Structure 1
Amino acid sequence: MKLYRFLTGPDDASFCHRVTDALNKGWSLSGAPSISFNHATGQMYCGQAVVKEVEGKDYDPSMKLGEQ
């Protein structure tokens, strides 16, 4: 089964730690990161798609993808 996640968050160290954690759990980057500016809060936000192959499991919409 191939899993997909799109990680998002403020453009700060915590976002980088979330992506690093996913990479160390076997996820791979998929495509380029995205960044946008929220005019209401004055803050930059990042997004990064990650994918992972998991053998021996079937996809179920109720599964928590971050725990796979």
Structure 2
Amino acid sequence: MATLYRLLTAEDDSAFCHKVSDALAKGWVLHGSPTFAWDQNANAMRCAQAVTKDIAAAYDPAMKLGAQ
């Protein structure tokens, strides 16, 4: 059994909320609070949310985490 970790990032808009909601619907669990930072180069607010998921398989660095 392995615990997987992902850090979801995107601009602060509804697409980010959908990205997190999609991960939750696929069994990922929120890990900590979201983080926000101003991206001066893009002139936009950026968001990040960590998520984790326990799986029955052994961890393999070649895994596509979003497909788990």
Structure 1, unaligned runs of 5 or more: none
Structure 2, unaligned runs of 5 or more: none
> What does residue range 1-68 of structure 1 map to in structure 2 within 5 Å?
1-55=2-56, 57-68=57-68
Richer in strand (by share): 2
Q: Match for 2:67: what amino acid?
A: E
Instruction: Provide TM-score, normalisation by structure 1.
Output: 0.95
Instruction: Provide TM-score, normalisation by structure 2.
Output: 0.95
- Among all aligned residue pairs of Structure 1 and Structure 2, give the percentage whose two residues are the same amino acid: 51
Rounded Cα–Cα distance in structure 2 between residues aligned with 1:41 and 1:25: 30
Q: Deviations over 1:24-50 (max 9, x none)?
A: 000000001000001122100000000
- Deviating above 2 A after TM superposition, structure 1's stretches of 4 or more consecutive aligned residues are none
